[in-house]
Amino acid sequence: MLMVKLFTVMFLAIFCFLSVLNFYLRGKAKQLITVIIGFAIFVTIAVSFFVSGWKFGLTMFFISFFFLFTSHPFAKSLACKILGYRVGGDEDHDGFLNELSSIRSDKDFEAMMGRASKKNGARNARLESFARNKSIASVLQKFKISVQEYQELFDFLWISALQDLAWEIISSPTDLEQLIIMKKEGKTDAEIWSCFRNAQ
């Protein structure tokens, strides 16, 4: 019985990890995979109720939330390797919070703001270099988007649930054009999120 419980926990951990990993990946099969993995998690928990008793089943139910929560950093790292670009984008955010907590004087605050200014300058310089790219420039010209508006599109992605895809979307002519069209059509953030998360 112990081995059965161990295997049940192992399968639940794997399914929860795959569920989180699928969140960070892209593709038209994303929704189908979400349903399949969700069903697998449900079956695993249901089986634990019938095979090992309601106490273990209830424990598995709560453990599933723990597995889902703790899987995020590992899923981000793996998605980064699979997709070939940096996933998450919240490293700067976490670093900023850590710097805030370490402020002890006005000099510390000024130094932090100086570093933040340099990071913003580097980011804007990178965006400007993208805007000069022939394929990106043709999209911007097609929709009469200025460099400043281009940067604002990036800012929109950076503070949204698409932060981990921001650089990929903004540097892809196809994705950029899709984003501009959806923004002009007044699509909601949820619709934009669904479009890019489910894209190939």
Record the pTM. 0.55
Distance CA 169, CA 83 (A): 13
Question: Which domain-ending residue is among 83, 104, 129?
Answer: 83
Q: Is 183 found in the same domain as 137?
A: yes
Specify the residue for token string 């130094």. Answer: 111
Question: Which domain-ending residue is among 28, 52, 83?
Answer: 83
Q: Identify the top-confidence range among 64-78, 120-134, 158-172, 178-192.
A: 178-192
Q: Is 106 found in the same domain as 176?
A: yes
Q: Which residues contact 46 (CB under 8 A, 6 or more apart)?
A: 57
pLDDT > 70: percent of the chain: 78
Do residues 131 and 140 lie in contact, with contact meaning Cβ atoms separated by under 8 Å?
Answer: yes
| H/E stretch holding 84 | none
Q: Is 176 found in the same domain as 106?
A: yes
Q: Is 95 found in the same domain as 78?
A: no
Q: Determine the pLDDT at residue 109.
A: 55
The stretch 63-84 carries a mean pLDDT of: 83
Q: Is 121 found in the same domain as 158?
A: yes
Q: Is 188 found in the same domain as 124?
A: yes
- The yes-or-no verdict on residue 99 having pLDDT over 60 is no
Question: Which domain-ending residue is among 83, 99, 127?
Answer: 83
- The yes-or-no verdict on residue 60 having pLDDT over 50 is yes
Q: Which of 8-12, 13-17, 102-106, 149-153 has the lowest mean pLDDT?
A: 102-106
Q: Determine the pLDDT at residue 75.
A: 87
Q: Is 104 found in the same domain as 69?
A: no
Count of domains in the chain?
2
- The yes-or-no verdict on residue 13 having pLDDT over 80 is yes
Q: Is 168 found in the same domain as 97?
A: yes
Looking at per-residue pLDDT, the higher value among 188 and 118 belongs to: 188
Distance CA 165, CA 161 (A): 9
Q: Is 61 found in the same domain as 22?
A: yes
- The yes-or-no verdict on residue 87 having pLDDT over 70 is no
Give me the DSSP letters along 10-26: HHHHHHHHHHHHHHHS-
**If phi over 0 gives left and psi between -120 and 50 gives alpha, with beta otherwise, what is residue 114?**
alpha
Question: Dihedral of the CA atoms 137, 141, 142, 146 (nearest 10)?
Answer: 100
Q: Domain range for residue 176?
A: 91-197
- The yes-or-no verdict on residue 86 having pLDDT over 80 is no
